[in-house]
Chains A and B, each alone.
Chain A
Amino acid sequence: MLELCDISKRYGDTQALYPTSLIFPGERTKALLGTSGCGKSTLLRLIAGLIQPDSGSIRLNGEPLTTKNIQSIRQRMGYVIQEGGLFPHLSLSTNITLMARHLGWPSTKIEQRVAVLGKLTRLDLHFLERFPCQVSGGQRQRAALMRALFLDPDILLLDEPLGALDPIIRAELQAELYEIFSTLRKTVVLVTHDLGEAAFLADEIALLDAGRIVQQGKLEELVEFPATPFVTRFINSQRHPFERGLRKCEG
């Protein structure tokens, strides 16, 4: 379980995040949804310890995050960003096993783990000796996910993980991610601006706007009992283009 208690962040004159409290229950996926600049990425970067909050505290399974223990806590975090963040000078397998080798895992254990995760993410193992620039975007994200999962972390942080993929691959990977989340049952924080993706992958959605959480709940709660007009506007902005297009064809 991940608990955020009254954390806030300010960049110069911009309040990127107003004091916010949020709970990510164990074994559940929660999506941070919103337009760009709403504070969802700031929230994720705070959790990852890449930036320090101006106020408030973060706890992972009861243990508060500090600058001292962040290094060890990160070994319990998996992190995937748009385009994967794979190191271009290292092969996929080196990328994936980097941390395990740094920690001195025996090679048999590493091989076993690669095999397990390869099956889970459906990454063909013969891609592993290639460099990131030599495989497709989808394969890169599979490898990035393998890297994030390698140490079997307690919590998985995903920042627009499918943002750079074309729609068909994206839909395929969404289905795979859903399966993986259900299999592993980890605490997942998913940052996305895609309502459908959030609704499909997450157990619960937290919708942000201008540095504040506007509403939390399942998609149907947001649709039926929107907390503010913004919630409705946000939902409609993603629902209407498709429906409009459909109506035009039928009419």
Chain B
Amino acid sequence: MRGIGLIAALLLIASTVFAAPIQVGSKDFTESVILGEIVSGLARHQGYPVIHKKELGGSMIWLALLSGEIDIYPEYTGTLQREIFAGKSLPDDDAIRQELRLHGIMMTRPLGFNNSYAIAVRPDIDARLALTRISDLQRHPALRFGFSNAFMDRADGWPSLRQRYQLPQKSVRGMEHVLTYQALQQGNIDVVDAYTTDPHIAMYHLRILEDDRKHFPRYDGVLLYRQSLIEQAPMLVEALSQLEGRINDQHMLALNQQVEIEGYSETDVAARFLAETLGIKSKTQTSLSLAERVWQTTLEHLFLVITSLSAAIIVAVPLGIIAAKRPWAGHLIVGVAEVVQTIPGLALLVLLSVIFAPLNLPTIGPWPMITALFFYCLLPIIRNTLAGLNNVADNLRESAEVLGLPHLVRLRLIELPLASPLILAGIKTTAVINVGYAALGGLIGAGGYGQPIMTGLRLNSSALMLEGAIPAALMALAVKGLFAWLERRLVPRGLYLSQGHREDTGM
């Protein structure tokens, strides 16, 4: 009994000393990241440790909140109504709030701005056709539409908009949101989707068409947080009310503009907002230098690559051996690995998050990414192990057999060493591809080179994209070099020499 009491006391002490940091989430666009930074700054001001997981993919962030991997993130009432609770037809904020409570989630009152979807037209088209309302588009079927990928897919996006307004246009393309503005400028498209707080509307002098049939609901910015946060961080929850109604449309637009057009970091913009609006001197986080940032993303990237590759080697080499020894099992193993290989990267991540969420496994961060990479690594290693073992010459296999060596000894001393060049080649290819694939980690907050690439895409900043892309390319080259060296070390010397290589005493 005393023992249990002691453990309980220790746990209590530990929980106060090592208070779990508050996990703030944000979606993969600027406004969400700014709001995430504002919440983080507020929490830090209250003395809570904070981790901000930025730029999480749209559908995953909600799952991450439900599973408790994040505690709080900015959301929009319209998204809750039309996307997350699409089938429930919730008429107003109270209904949403009630529905959320069933999931243990709380919602603040609106922060003050309505970031609705809007349909925008290029200025010269507007001048020519004098469009004012979305229904005016019906009369011009030749107009070319370019919508962000999210808008193409969402329940409140293009499919229902087309139905509501009976739009006849045939040329409708989905693309990255930042690219729609470029395509617009180059005259490749005429009509885009936009957010009402998007600073590009003013910058490109776009004409916003009136939603005359009231298709788009209100997208009031709110904060969603887990009920447990009330106990974990009562002062923060109280402070959140200070944000309610404090950011109107113009204000949010201005904040977005400071980041997207003027080039300030979200952290700086959020800090200035907190100082000016709430009089909070945020504890300035020293921003990292380029070298420090690259060093950090490199470590994160290496973690993703090394962990997934090591696990894959441990699993795939034995599977390759089984496949070589038992052909029927081989067909099954290679078949399954091939199927996994054909799943597109993003789809695999979403699939994993759907599988992981009910199991209480992490759906964001490095682990789901490592799992996905692990699956991608399996096939090439299995296949090369199989090929390597099948390539062992019959006369050598038989010589080993007639010597009287048992199966496993033959495998270890003869067959695997003879297959080692091909097995290593498989691992090398896998490792190089893995370095590239791991950049997908930017989508689910796994860190690594994908993070600056994602941010660069969002802000249309080539400098940031290169900050991820160049080190990724260098790492791929380094991995290749490393394996060329490992090949000399690990392939048995006699075999290396018999393949026509020269004796190299320098190594």
Interface residues of chain A, those whose CB is within 8 Å of chain B, are 45, 48-50, 71-72, 74-75, 77, 79, 81-83, 85-91, 98-99, 102, 131-134, 147, 157
Question: From residue 378 to 415 of chain B, which have CB atoms closer than 8 A to chain A?
Answer: 395-396, 398-406, 409, 413-414
Residue of B nearest to A47 (CB): B402
Residue of B nearest to A75 (CB): B404
Q: Given known contacts A85-B399, A133-B494, is B418 in contact with A71 (CB within 8 Å)?
A: no
Give every chain B residue within 8 A of A79 (Cβ-Cβ). 399, 402-403
Whether A81 pairs with B417 at a CB distance below 8 angstroms is no
Residue of A nearest to B495 (CB): A89
Give every chain B residue within 8 A of A85 (Cβ-Cβ). 395-396, 398-399
Whether B398 pairs with A71 at a CB distance below 8 angstroms is no
- Alpha-carbon gap, A71 to B406, bound state (A): 7
**Is B497 in the interface zone, CB < 8 Å from A?**
yes
- Alpha-carbon gap, A45 to B395, bound state (A): 11
Minimum CB–CB distance for A119 against chain B, Å: 22
- Alpha-carbon gap, A122 to B497, bound state (A): 25
Give which listed residue, B401, B409, B493, contacts A131 with CB less than 8 A: B493
**Is B498 in the interface zone, CB < 8 Å from A?**
yes
Residue of B nearest to A76 (CB): B404
**Is B234 in the interface zone, CB < 8 Å from A?**
no
Minimum CB–CB distance for B382 against chain A, Å: 23
Give every chain B residue within 8 A of A48 (Cβ-Cβ). 398, 402
- Alpha-carbon gap, A81 to B405, bound state (A): 17
**Is B358 in the interface zone, CB < 8 Å from A?**
no
* 13 A-B contact pairs sorted by A residue (CB < 8 Å): A50-B402, A79-B402, A79-B403, A85-B399, A86-B399, A89-B417, A89-B418, A89-B492, A89-B493, A90-B413, A90-B492, A133-B494, A134-B497
Whether A50 pairs with B398 at a CB distance below 8 angstroms is yes
Whether A87 pairs with B402 at a CB distance below 8 angstroms is no
Give every chain B residue within 8 A of A49 (Cβ-Cβ). 402
Whether B413 pairs with A98 at a CB distance below 8 angstroms is yes
Give every chain B residue within 8 A of A147 (Cβ-Cβ). 403
Question: From residue 404 to 433 of chain B, which have CB atoms closer than 8 A to chain A?
Answer: 404-406, 409, 413-414, 417-418
Minimum CB–CB distance for B261 against chain A, Å: 64
- Alpha-carbon gap, A82 to B498, bound state (A): 18
Whether B404 pairs with A71 at a CB distance below 8 angstroms is yes
Q: Given known contacts A71-B406, A81-B395, A102-B405, is B400 in contact with A87 (CB within 8 Å)?
A: yes
Chain B CB within 10 Å, residue with most, of A72, A74, A82:
A74
Minimum CB–CB distance for B107 against chain A, Å: 67
Give every chain A residue within 8 A of B405 (Cβ-Cβ). 98-99, 102
- Alpha-carbon gap, A133 to B406, bound state (A): 26
Residue of A nearest to B405 (CB): A102
Give every chain A residue within 8 A of B401 (Cβ-Cβ). 50, 74
Minimum CB–CB distance for B244 against chain A, Å: 72
Whether B404 pairs with A131 at a CB distance below 8 angstroms is no
Residue of A nearest to B400 (CB): A87
Q: Given known contacts A81-B395, A98-B413, is B495 in contact with A88 (CB within 8 Å)?
A: yes
- Alpha-carbon gap, A75 to B405, bound state (A): 9
Chain B residues with a Cβ closer than 8 Å to the other chain, count: 22
Give every chain A residue within 8 A of B414 (Cβ-Cβ). 87
Question: From residue 477 to 498 of chain B, which have CB atoms closer than 8 A to chain A?
Answer: 492-495, 497-498
Q: Given known contacts A89-B418, A91-B494, A131-B497, is B403 in contact with A98 (CB within 8 Å)?
A: yes
Residue of A nearest to B491 (CB): A89
Contacts A50-B401, A77-B402 aside, 11 further interface pairs with beta carbons under 8 A come to A79-B399, A83-B395, A85-B395, A87-B418, A88-B498, A89-B493, A98-B403, A99-B403, A131-B494, A132-B494, A134-B497
Give every chain B residue within 8 A of A77 (Cβ-Cβ). 402, 404
Minimum CB–CB distance for B360 against chain A, Å: 48
Residue of B nearest to A86 (CB): B399
Residue of B nearest to A103 (CB): B404
Residue of B nearest to A78 (CB): B402
Give every chain A residue within 8 A of B495 (Cβ-Cβ). 88-89
Minimum CB–CB distance for A2 against chain B, Å: 15
Minimum CB–CB distance for B418 against chain A, Å: 6
Give every chain A residue within 8 A of B403 (Cβ-Cβ). 74, 79, 98-99, 147
Q: Given known contacts A75-B404, A79-B403, A99-B403, is B398 in contact with A88 (CB within 8 Å)?
A: no
Whether B413 pairs with A88 at a CB distance below 8 angstroms is no
Closest 4 CB pairs of A and B: A131-B494, A85-B399, A89-B492, A74-B404
Residue of B nearest to A73 (CB): B404
Residue of A nearest to B500 (CB): A133
- Alpha-carbon gap, A48 to B402, bound state (A): 7
Give every chain A residue within 8 A of B418 (Cβ-Cβ). 87-89
Give every chain B residue within 8 A of A98 (Cβ-Cβ). 403, 405, 413
Whether A74 pairs with B402 at a CB distance below 8 angstroms is yes
Residue of A nearest to B401 (CB): A50
Whether B497 pairs with A87 at a CB distance below 8 angstroms is no
Whether B398 pairs with A87 at a CB distance below 8 angstroms is no
Give which listed residue, A45, A83, A88, contacts B494 with CB less than 8 A: A88
Residue of A nearest to B417 (CB): A89
Minimum CB–CB distance for B463 against chain A, Å: 50
Minimum CB–CB distance for A144 against chain B, Å: 9
Minimum CB–CB distance for B104 against chain A, Å: 61
Give every chain A residue within 8 A of B498 (Cβ-Cβ). 88-89, 131-133
Whether A99 pairs with B404 at a CB distance below 8 angstroms is yes
- Alpha-carbon gap, A155 to B263, bound state (A): 85
Chain B CB within 10 Å, residue with most, of A85, A86, A131, A132:
A85
Give every chain B residue within 8 A of A99 (Cβ-Cβ). 403-405
Give every chain A residue within 8 A of B398 (Cβ-Cβ). 45, 48, 50, 81, 85
Minimum CB–CB distance for B423 against chain A, Å: 13
Minimum CB–CB distance for B491 against chain A, Å: 8
- Alpha-carbon gap, A86 to B402, bound state (A): 12
Chain B CB within 10 Å, residue with most, of A77, A87, A133:
A87
Minimum CB–CB distance for A113 against chain B, Å: 15
- Alpha-carbon gap, A49 to B417, bound state (A): 25
Minimum CB–CB distance for B495 against chain A, Å: 4
